[in-house]
Amino acid sequence: MIEHRLIERMIGLIAQSVAAIKSGIPIEPSTIDLYVDFIRTYADRTHHGKEEDILFRDLDKKPMSEADRRLMNELIEEHSLGRRLTGDLVAANEGQRRGDPGAPARIAALLENLAGFYPKHIAKEDKVFFPAVRTYFSGEEEQAMLKEFREFDQRMIHKKYQAVVENLEQES
pLDDT tens track for 108-158: 999 999 999 999 999 999 999 999 999 999 999 999 999 999 999 888 777
Tell me if 72 sits within 8 A of 129, measured CB to CB. yes
The pLDDT assigned to 53 comes to 96
The pLDDT assigned to 133 comes to 96
Which helix (H) or strand (E) segment holds residue 141: the answer is helix 139-171
Tell me if 92 sits within 8 A of 27, measured CB to CB. no
Write the pLDDT tens digit of every residue in 63-100. 999 999 999 999 999 999 999 999 999 999 999 999 99
Q: Which amino acid is at 90?
A: V
Under 8 Å CB-to-CB from 42, ≥6 apart: which residues? Answer: 3, 6, 7, 10
Angstrom distance (rounded) from CA 94 to CA 60 = 39
Angstrom distance (rounded) from CA 100 to CA 28 = 14
Name the residue among 61, 53, 63, 76 with its Cα closest to residue 129.
Answer: 76
H helices then E strands: how many in the chain? Answer: 8, 0
Residue 116, domain CATH: 1.20.120.520
Name the residue among 50, 75, 56, 71 with its Cα closest to residue 148.
Answer: 50
Q: Which domain holds residue 120?
A: 2-171
For residue 164, pLDDT over 80 is answered with no
Angstrom distance (rounded) from CA 47 to CA 49 = 5
Q: In total, how many domains does the chain have?
A: 1
Cβ atoms < 10 Å from Cβ of 25: 10
96-100: long-range contacts (C-beta < 8 A, 24 or more apart)?
96/29, 96/32, 97/29
Write the pLDDT tens digit of every residue in 38-56. 999 999 999 999 999 999 9
CA angle 41, 43, 49 (to 5 degrees): 80
